[in-house]
Structure 1
Amino acid sequence: MFRQAALRRLARPPTATPSMIRVSVPRRTLFSRKQKPSGRAVENLDVRRISQQTEEYYRNRQIFLWCGTIAGVVSFIYTAWKLKVELSKPAKLDTSLPSTDPLNAPNAADRKVVVHDEDGREIVPTGNSTVPTFPRTLDLPAYTAPITATTPDAPETLTTQTITTPTGTTEYTLVGLGLRTVTFVNLQVYVVGYYIATSDIAALQNALTKKVNPIATTLVPGEREELRAALLDPAEGEATWDELLAAGIPARSAFRVIPVRDTDFHHLRDGFVRAIQAKAGPATMADDTFGEAMRQFRAVFNRGTVPKRKELLLVRDETGRLSIAYDAGANKKEGRAAGRQLIGVVEDERVSRALWLNYLAGKKVASEPARKSIVEGIMEFVERPVGTVASQVVPVVNAKV
C-alpha cells in the first residue's frame, strides 16, 4: 500500500514555480524577418456618417462657388456704374486758361473734335468704321431747276434736271451728325450730318436767343439749359423747328447722307416718304398740290442701287425748295463724271420742312444720336453773341489721319 502511494508520487509531474518557468523569446538578428502580429485589425465603418460628410462637403463647395460668382458679377456692375458716373460728370475747368477760352467752357468735353486729313482739310470723326469722317464744311453751288414744266401739249412732262452754272459756291458748316439705325437689332443704315450755310447762322442765333430771352444777345448757362430742354422736348421742339423752317430760318441748310452698307434709292425713298407723311399730317397729305409734290419726290428716287460710302445730299434753299444731289463717283465705262450731280428738285416747301423735322425734332426721329448732336451744336451757337459765327466743333486738333 505504501509502495503504491510512493509510485504514484513519483509518476506525478512536479508543480511549476515562478522560478522554474522559462519563456522562450525568439531573438531577432540582422537577417531575421519582423514577425507580424498574429491578430487582425478591425475597423467599424459608419456608411451613413461618411455619406453625410460627403454631401455636406459638396454642398459647402457649391455655396462657396456661387458666392464667388455673385460677388464677381456685383463688383463688375458696381465698377461699370462708377465709371459711368465719373464719365458723365462735367469736365473740370482749367484755371490756367482765361474764362473766355472755348476750351474752358463747361461743355467743352462734349464738343466734337476736329482733325486734319493729309490734305489739311478739317474733318470730324463719326465713330463709324465704314464712314469714319465727315467734312467740317461743304462748298455747295445753288441748285436751281424745277422738276416739271407745264406746256399745252404735255402739261406734266418731266424735264431734264441741270445745275445752273454758279457764280460761286456757298460754305455750309456742320452742326451735328449721327448714325441712322432701324429695327430692334439696331441695323446700321447711314450716317447723316446737318449743315447750315455759315452766313445764315446769325439768323438762327438771333431767333433762338430771342425765343428764350427777348432782350438778350447771348444766353447764360441757365437759359441755354432751358433752350436745350425745349429743343429736346418732342412737342415743343417740333413746334419750334416747324415755326423756324416756315419762316425760312435757317435760310439754307442741307443733310448729307452716306450709307454704311449697300442699299438702293427705293429703300431710301420709302423711309423718306414715311417720315414726310408722319410729319406733314393728314390735312396736308389731303391737299392735291402736296400730293403732286410727293409724286415728284418719288420720281426722283426711281433709280438703282446706292453703294456704301456714296454721298446723297438733301439741300433746302431760302424758298424752301428741296434739291437732291447724288455723287456716284467717276465711271469711265458708263461715261459718268465725278462729283455731285443734281437728280431732282421738289418745289413745295412743305415737303422739305416735313423731311427736316424728321431729323430735328419730334417724338420719333430718324436718328436720335444725330438729333442730340444737332442740339448740342445749336447750344454752342447761342452761347456766343448774336452776329458772330460760333465754331461748333472745337477744339481743333492739329493731327493727321
Structure 2
Amino acid sequence: MAAPTRSAMRILSPRIHSTRQTTPSPITHQIRRLSSRYSNPAKRGFAAAPAQSPSFLGSASENAGEGSEQLRDPHKAWEAKRQYHLGRMRFAGMGLLLSIAGLALVISNIDLDSLEQAEQKRKSGQQMDAPDDANAQFQGKEVHVIGAGDGKRIVAQGAGADIELVETGTSSVPHFPKTIFLPTDPNSKSAVAAQPNSPGNPGNIDNQEEYTLVGLGIRTVMWIQVYVVGFYIRSKDISTLQEKLIHYVNPIASTLVPAEKEDLRKKLVDPAASREIWTQLMEVPGIKTAWRVSPTRNTDFSHLRDGFVTGIQKRTQEAKQLAGSAGPSEYDAEDFGKSIQDFKGIFAGGKAPKGSILIMARDREGGLDVLYEPKPEEGKRKEMEVLGRVEDERISRLIWLGYLGGEKVSSEAARKGVVEGCVEFAGRPIGSAETMVA
C-alpha cells in the first residue's frame, strides 16, 4: 500500500500546489493597480489646481470658507451676483451722465457769434487765417499798434480824440481803455458817459471826470472765461492813493525803493494785510474808484448779479467770523438786508451780450452807481444808461473787498493786475503819476 500511496501523492501534489497559488483575474489586477496609484499621494503624477469660485463671489483663495458657504447657499450666491451687476450698472450710469454733462458744457460754451462770423467769411470767399488785428476796432475806431516790445502803444484812432488801450489777454474782449470818463453825477439827466468834446457830449466837460486804469484781469469760473474786469481810480485821486500806499509801508517816505515795493506787493496779496489796506483806502470820505466789466460771452444781468451777491455774502461771513462773539456786527442790521435787496433790484432782468459794458462806480461817500453801455452796433457807440444806485457804503465796500482783499477773491488775475498797478504807482514820487496821466 505504501508504494501506490506515494505515487498517488506525487501525482496530486502539483494540483494541490496550483490551487493554493491561484492567479488573479485581469479585473482584480486592474483594481489593485489603480488603488495603489491613487491611494498614495506621493506617487501621483500631477497636482490638480484648486477649484475657484466665480468672479462675483470673490477669490476662493482669499475667503475659501465664505465662498464654500455661498456655493452651498444658492440664495447668497444669487444675491452676490445681483450686487455685482448692480454695481456695474451704477458705474455705467455715472459714466453716461458725465458724458452728457460734458457735452452740454461744451455746447453751452460754443461762441456762436464767432462761428457765424467764420461762416460769413467762408461764404464771402475771405481767407479764414486772415489776422483779426487788421480790422480790429474799439468803440468804432480802428486800432493801431505803434512801436514794438515793452514800449509799444495800442491806440484807437478815429473821429474825436484818440484812445490809448491795453491788452486784456483774451480775444473775446481784446482791449481795455487806459482812461475812461464817467459822469460826476450819474443821476443827473444831463449826465452822459461820452468822451469830452465828442459828438455825444459836444463842448461839455463839466459833468465828466477822468478815471485811470490801475489793473485788470479775467474772471473765470472753473476754466470758463466770464468777463474781463478792470479797476479804475479817478485821476485826481491818484496822489492820495500813492500817499496811503507808500506810508503804509514807510510812514516817512515819498516813494518806495525796490525792497519796499516787494514788501507792498506781498502785503497786497496777503489775506489779512490786503483786507486792512483796502479797508483804510475806502474810508469815507475818500477816493473815487470804479470797476469796468465787459462779458466775454453772452450772459444776462441775473448771472452777473448772482456773482456779485455771492462775493458780498462771502465777505459778510468772513467779517462775522473775524468779529467772533463780540456781539452783532454791522451786517446783522435790518437796513443792511434792505440794501442788499436794493442792489439786487438794480439787475432786474435784461441781457448782457459779449462786448457790452457794466460799470460800478463808488463815490467819496461810498455810494454805488451802476451804469450800463450796450454793445456797439456797426461800430457806433451807444449812450450809457444809469441802472440804479445804492447809498449804503457797505455794499460797495464788500464788492470791492471781494476782488481785492481777503483769502479767496472773485478773480485772482484781476487782483494781481491791480497789485502790480498799485506797486507801480507807489514806486513813483507822490503826484508824479497824476501828472503823467494828465
Scaled to the shorter chain, the TM-score interval is 0.5 to 0.7
Contact 2:354 2:375 survives alignment (8 Å): no
Aligned-pair identity in percent equals: 44
| Matched residue type, 2:273 | E
- In 2, distance between residues paired with 1:113 and 1:191? 22
* Structure 2 equivalent of residue 213 of structure 1: 250
* Structure 2 equivalent of residue 385 of structure 1: 429
1:296 matched to 2:342: yes
- From the two aligned structures, give the one with the greater helix fraction: 2
- In 1, distance between residues paired with 2:314 and 2:291? 19
1:265 matched to 2:311: no
Post-superposition offset of 1:304: 1.6
- In 2, distance between residues paired with 1:273 and 1:317? 20
| CA distance 1:327–1:248, change in 2 (3 Å) | same
* Structure 1 equivalent of residue 164 of structure 2: 122
1:343 matched to 2:381: no
- In 2, distance between residues paired with 1:200 and 1:114? 25
Post-superposition offset of 1:330: 6.7
- In 1, distance between residues paired with 2:211 and 2:190? 18
- Choose the corresponding residue for 2:356, options 303, 306, 310: 310
- In 2, distance between residues paired with 1:339 and 1:307? 16
- In 2, distance between residues paired with 1:207 and 1:285? 27
Contact 1:314 1:325 survives alignment (8 Å): yes
- Choose the corresponding residue for 2:240, options 182, 189, 203: 203
* Structure 2 equivalent of residue 140 of structure 1: 182
- In 1, distance between residues paired with 2:398 and 2:301? 19
Contact 1:178 1:191 survives alignment (8 Å): yes
Post-superposition offset of 1:358: 1.0
| CA distance 1:144–1:118, change in 2 (3 Å) | closer
Q: Which has the higher contact order (CA 8 A, sep 6+)?
A: 1
Which sections of structure 2, spanning at least 5 residues, go unmatched?
1-148, 193-204, 321-328
| Matched residue type, 1:298 | K
* Structure 1 equivalent of residue 262 of structure 2: 225
1:189 matched to 2:235: no
- 3-state SS in 1 of match to 2:173: coil
- In 1, distance between residues paired with 2:436 and 2:310? 31
Post-superposition offset of 1:338: 2.2
- Choose the corresponding residue for 2:206, options 152, 161, 167: 167
* Structure 1 equivalent of residue 409 of structure 2: 365
Post-superposition offset of 1:279: 1.3
| Matched residue type, 1:381 | F
Q: TM-score, normalised by structure 2?
A: 0.56
| CA distance 1:236–1:111, change in 2 (3 Å) | farther
Post-superposition offset of 1:118: 3.2
Render the CA deviation track for 1:301-349: whole Å, top value 9, x for unaligned: 0122111110000001111110000011478xxxxx9211001000001
Q: TM-score, normalised by structure 1?
A: 0.61
1:254 matched to 2:290: yes
Number of aligned positions between the proteins? 263
- 3-state SS in 2 of match to 1:117: strand
| CA distance 1:299–1:238, change in 2 (3 Å) | same
- Choose the corresponding residue for 2:371, options 315, 318, 325: 325
- In 2, distance between residues paired with 1:229 and 1:386? 21
- In 1, distance between residues paired with 2:373 and 2:339? 24
| Matched residue type, 1:193 | G
- In 2, distance between residues paired with 1:112 and 1:284? 48
| Matched residue type, 2:262 | E
* Structure 2 equivalent of residue 286 of structure 1: 332
Contact 1:277 1:285 survives alignment (8 Å): no
- 3-state SS in 2 of match to 1:192: strand
Which sections of structure 1, spanning at least 5 residues, go unmatched?
1-109, 146-160, 332-336, 394-401
| CA distance 1:265–1:113, change in 2 (3 Å) | farther
Post-superposition offset of 1:300: 0.3
| Matched residue type, 1:117 | A
- 3-state SS in 2 of match to 1:214: coil
Post-superposition offset of 1:224: 0.8
